[in-house]
Structure 1
Amino acid sequence: MRKPDEPAENILVEGDRSEEIRSWEQSIFAKQESAIYSVKRKQSLQARYIYGFIFFLTNLLAWFVRDYGHKFLHILHYITVCGIDGDECFHAAGVLRISLGCFIFFSSMFVTTLRAEKLQEARNSWHSRCWALKVAIYLLSVMVPFIIPSGFIQLYGQLAHVGAGIFLLLQLISLIHFLSWCDSKWMPDLQSKKCGFFGLFLSTIFYLGSFCGIVLMYIMYALDTSCAINIFFITWTAILVKVMMIVSLHSKVNRGLLSSGIMCSYIVFLCWSAIQSEPHTQKCNTKKMMAEDGDWTTILSFLIAICAIVMATFSTGIDSQSFQFRKDDIQSEDDDVPYSYEIFHFIFSMGAMYFAMLFISWEMDQPTRKWSIDVGWASTWVKILNEWFAASIYLWKLISPAVMRDKAINPEQHVQNVQVSV
């Protein structure tokens, strides 16, 4: 309460000082809170690489069980579900069991991080920390499938075909989102000469690379008319490349030139990869027959393939924006999680099924060579179908705006014609 003899000026000064102190305290609290969020965000981003490393080790473990498990993992011979000779826990069956363990781990992470939105939530701490507990859960998840009956493992193998297909679809969605980003980044409008010219330059490079790749495939894999299947694959790929280029240059579309160039290179790569996956006994495949399992070129190719699997899964997993179908412009806040945890773990769980299919060449009953990955007619046709599907989806993405525009214009013209006739 104001004293009778206290000047009014002193009261105003004290009020200003208390307001300054309150503002200063709020500023300090905001800085501390921002620092805490920064640390938690950093932990969350670092966690992605740890999960990626776990996935990489799982791939190596699946390879080891497939190719060398029967020599070194003698303890599995004493497990009932592994059979008399332990064959139900090695080779393709061993890969499926490791894949199932990886699927269980990432599925459990998916469930426990579902709808995590804020950095201060317990689900964020679970995703980014508690590594000792999660390693224990991972080891338990990998060991449990080795006591599961073989019938269930065969059922999982059938489901893994579906999961691998879902993974390829998610990968395609991520790729198309990346292509859209490239167009918006390097070819935003016709008035921007710098970005436009650079985009045209990149488009030219990708198209030239696509055409050179097609020519090289004709030289290497279409040696004569007896190589009809390879000639068909390469020719159809060349047709798709030409169609995508023509559509992107059409006056009604007139967009996506850079993205179509990248997509052309991608489908040419898929065609080459499909031909490479043909059995080594094919005379039209210039890949030399391996004199023995495990020469250095085979080992190097195998390791590169594993790294490609991990990178494909990792890059798709961190691209959560591609799978957020609501396009509302919601302003992100400081305490929001940096990426979608549930999408990340879901894609890794599908990736577990995908790597299983690659290690067994999409066939559960066919033997595989040591140090081989994704080799066989089933693998070849999966890649070819993936190529055709990717090209079809991308072509629809190019022409759909023009088609929708025409559908929107036609009703208006019809109404005008009716009014004129009346």
Structure 2
Amino acid sequence: MEKIPWINHFYVTPDREWFETDAVLRVSLGNFLFFSILSLLMVGVKNQKDPRDSLHHGGWMMKVICWCLLIILMFFLPNGVISFYESTSKFGSGLFLLVQVVLLLDFVHTWNDKWVGYDEQFWYAALLVVSLVCYVATFLFSGLLFHFFTPSGQDCGLNTFFIVMILILVFLFAVITLHPTVSGSILPASVISFYCMYLCYSGLASEPRDYACNGLHKHSKAVSTGTLTIGLFTTVLSVVYSAVRAGSSTTLLSPPSSPRAGGEKPLLPLDKRDEHEEKEKNKPVTYSYSFFHIIFSLASMYSAMLLTGWSTSVGESGRLVDVGWPSVWVRMITAWATAGLFIWSMVAPHLFPDREF
């Protein structure tokens, strides 16, 4: 890439890390466009009779060829386009984190309902043990955050605010869950508490390395590796889980106007085989194909941010910019949004008893 004139047009050639980051973002942009195009093509698919249904489930050779062409095309784009995509990816990654939250809430409530459904003492004890482990881990995590991100002798009011705010939300989760009106389970509250504390850590670790209150700046390489591993692991889990849920859920990803099976009878009589094929084709899709591909396009953005450490700008300056405040606020706002969604999931059924949630 150093020899490509429309990429390396600087008076002083940037270091190798700059080109590696640029390559990651260009591949990510190709992935994002690929899944976005598929998402647009799948808008309005309601039943399996639609020709686009076969495109969604097949045509792999054509898809691979188009994907390769898009990836190659990205390396012909000017740096300004990649810089804009890099900035946009931070906010797209925030949206993906919100999708993670929705999937996490769905998973935790399903997990809780399944264990409670066994109605046995062993499973109740298991719920209690898992909840206690999550709460202990949450408070230990908060202690480490106070240690590393509020060093003595420094004015770290913002970091203190972030950590204390999460602790207040953790306490609020428990109060709402145990309130007699709600009578919820402590397991979802404990898991969401730990996840919010992890997001708080992730945000604080994204503070600039020269910020005095970032106590991890001396160990930035090790922390980046750990954060990258955890982030990629959760990303893979989120994408796989969304794909599984997309194939089985009729609420999370299903189109609102999806028709129901068993429509009108055909005007002309058909033999049993043709009638069976006709019924198969007229079956409604069980999830939104368009939203399915949006998940992957947002995951492409999020993966790029993880691989580049949320830290780089590949604009006209040709310099790497360290982890900055936009990344911090994206993650902290995601943590607060997580808290808001969880609280809403607990109180909404009681505020609006006539509506289904």
- TM-score (norm: length of structure 1): 0.63
**Does 2:291 align with 1:361?**
no
CA distance in 1, matches of 2:123, 2:181: 22
Are the equivalent residues in 1 in contact too, given 2:166–2:200 (CA < 8 A)? yes
When residues 325 and 220 of structure 1 are mapped into structure 2, their CA distance, relative to the original with a 3 A threshold, is: farther
CA distance in 1, matches of 2:260, 2:185: 27
> What does residue 348 of structure 1 align with?
296
After TM superposition, the structure 1 = structure 2 runs for residues 167-206 of structure 1, keeping only pairs within 5 Å, are 167-188=96-117, 193-206=121-134
Q: Which of the two has higher C-alpha Rg?
A: 1
- 3-state DSSP of counterpart to 2:352: helix
User: Which residue is equivalent to 2:331?
Assistant: 383
Q: Deviations over 1:81-130 (max 9, x none)?
A: 7635687x946655443322111211233344552754x87645544544
Distance 1:111 1:348 in 2: 13
Match of 1:315 among 234, 237, 241: 241
Q: Using a 3 Å threshold, how does the CA distance of structure 1 residues 171 and 297 change in structure 2: closer, same or farther?
A: closer
Q: Does 1:221 align with 2:149?
A: yes
Residue 276 of structure 2 corresponds to none
Match in the other structure for 1:398: 346
* Distance in 1 separating the partners of 2:177 and 2:54: 46
Q: Is the 8 A contact 1:362 1:378 kept in 2?
A: no
The separation in 2 between residues aligned to 1:328 and 1:197, in whole angstroms, is: 41
Give 1:186-335 correspondences, 5 Å limit.
Answer: 186-188=115-117, 193-224=121-152, 226=154, 227-287=156-216, 289=218, 302-303=228-229, 305-320=231-246, 321=249, 322-324=252-254
Match of 1:48 in 2: none
Query: In 1, Cα distance between the equivalents of 2:293 and 2:234?
Result: 18
Matched letter for residue 343 of structure 1: F
Deviation at 1:240, TM superposition (A): 1.0
Q: Give the deviation of 1:224 after TM superposition.
A: 2.0
Tell which has more relative contact order, 1 or 2 (C-alpha 8 A, sep 6+). Answer: 2
Query: What percentage of aligned pairs have identical amino acids?
Result: 26
TM-score under structure 2 normalisation? 0.73
Counterpart Cα distance in 2 of 1:368 and 1:308:
26
RMSD: 3.9
**Separation in 1 of the partners of 2:329 and 2:244?**
28
Q: State the 1:162 CA deviation.
A: 4.2
Within 5 Å, which residues of 2 pair with 1:1-40? Answer: none
Q: Which has the higher helix share?
A: 1
Alpha-carbon separation, structure 1, partners of 2:57 and 2:26: 27
Q: In the comparison of the two structures, how many residue pairs are matched?
A: 323
Letter of the structure 1 residue corresponding to residue 340 of structure 2: S
In structure 1, stretches of 5+ residues that fail to align are 1-72, 409-422
Unaligned runs of 5+ in 2: 263-278
Cα distance change on mapping 1:175 and 1:327 into 2, 3 Å: farther
Counterpart of 1:221 in structure 2: which amino acid?
F
Task: Look up the match of 2:67.
Answer: 138
User: What amino acid sits opposite 1:223 in the alignment?
Assistant: P
Q: CA deviation at 1:390?
A: 0.8
Q: Distance in 2 between matches of 1:181 and 1:285?
A: 38
Task: Tell me what 1:28 maps to.
Answer: none
Q: How far is 1:339 from its partner?
A: 6.2
Deviations 1:264-317 (A, max 9, x none): 1111111122222223334444436269xxx78765654554444444334334
Which residue in the other structure is 1:6 paired with? Answer: none
Relative distance call for 1:228 and 1:116 in structure 2 (3 A) is same
Distance 1:181 1:351, change over 3 A: same
Letter in 2 for 1:164: S
Q: Report the Cα distance in structure 2 between the residues aligned to 1:334 and 1:201, rounded to whole angstroms.
A: 46
Query: Displacement, 1:139?
Result: 1.3
Q: Is the 8 A contact 1:280 1:288 kept in 2?
A: yes
